[in-house]
Structure 1
Amino acid sequence: MPSHGLRFDVNCSILFTELPVLARPAAAKAAGFDAVEFWWPFPQAVPADAEVDAFVAALADAGVELVGLNFFAGDMPAGDRGLVSWPGREQEFRDNVALVAAIGERTGCRTFNALYGNRIGGDGGADAAAQDDLAAEQLAFAADAVARMGGTVVVESISGPQPYPLRTAADAFAVIDRADRDNIAFLADLYHLSVNGDDLSKVIGEYAARVGHVQIADAPGRHEPGTGELDLDAHLAALEHAGYGGWVGLEYTPSGPSADSFAWLSKENTT
Structure 2
Amino acid sequence: MTYAVNCSILLTELPLLERPTAARAAGFDRVEFWWPFAEAVPNDDDVDQFIAAVRDSGVTLTGLNFAAGDMPRGDRGLLSWPGRQHEFRDNIDVVIGIGEELGCKSFNALYGNRVDGTYAQEQDELALSNLVFAANSVARIGGVVLVEPVSGAPRYPLRKAKDALNIISRLRASGIENIRLLADFYHLAVNGDDVEAVIADHAAEFGHIQIADDPGRGAPGTGALPLAEWVTSSRKLGYSGVIGLEYKAPASEAFNWVKHQSAAV
Query: How far apart, in 2, do the equivalents of 1:45 and 1:261 lie?
Result: 29
Within the alignment, does 1:159 sit opposite 2:151 as a pair?
Answer: yes
1:262 maps to what in 2?
255
Structure 1 stretches of 5 or more lacking a match?
1-5
**Counterpart code for 1:263:** N
Within the alignment, does 1:168 sit opposite 2:143 as a pair?
Answer: no
Query: How far apart, in 2, do the equivalents of 1:220 and 1:192 lie?
Result: 11
Q: What TM-score comes out, normalization by structure 1 length?
A: 0.93
The Cα shift of 1:58 comes to 0.2
Q: Deviations over 1:4-41 (max 9, x none)?
A: xx710100000000010100000000000000000000
- What does 1:66-215 align with in structure 2 at a 5 Å threshold? 66-121=61-116, 127-180=119-172, 181-215=176-210
Cα RMSD of the aligned pairs, angstroms, is 1.7
**Counterpart code for 1:133:** E
Ranked by relative contact order (alpha carbons within 8 Å, sequence separation 6 or more), the top structure is: 1
Instruction: Name the CA shift for 1:259/1:9 in 2 (closer, same or farther; >3 Å).
Output: farther
Segments ≥4 residues shifted beyond 6 Å: none
The Cα shift of 1:224 comes to 0.1
**Counterpart code for 2:254:** S
Query: How far apart, in 2, do the equivalents of 1:25 and 1:245 lie?
Result: 23
SS in 1 for 2:132: helix
Do the aligned partners of 1:137 and 1:179 also contact (CA within 8 Å) in 2? no
The Cα shift of 1:266 comes to 5.1
Query: How far apart, in 2, do the equivalents of 1:263 and 1:245 lie?
Result: 24
Query: How far apart, in 1, do the equivalents of 2:8 and 2:95 lie?
Result: 16
The Cα shift of 1:226 comes to 0.5
The Cα shift of 1:82 comes to 0.2
SS in 2 for 1:264: helix
The Cα shift of 1:221 comes to 0.6
Q: Pick one of 217, 230, 233 that aligns with 1:222.
A: 217
**Counterpart code for 1:204:** I
2:28 maps to what in 1?
33
**Counterpart code for 1:182:** E
Within the alignment, does 1:249 sit opposite 2:241 as a pair?
Answer: no
Q: Deviations over 1:225-263 (max 9, x none)?
A: 000000100000000000111011000001xx2242212
Do the aligned partners of 1:31 and 1:259 also contact (CA within 8 Å) in 2? no
Paired residues in the alignment total: 260
Q: What TM-score comes out, normalization by structure 2 length?
A: 0.95
Query: How far apart, in 1, do the equivalents of 2:147 and 2:200 lie?
Result: 18
Q: Deviations over 1:172-210 (max 9, x none)?
A: 011112223100000000000000000111010111122
1:3 maps to what in 2?
none
Query: How far apart, in 1, do the equivalents of 2:47 and 2:157 lie?
Result: 31
**Counterpart code for 1:58:** A
SS in 1 for 2:96: helix
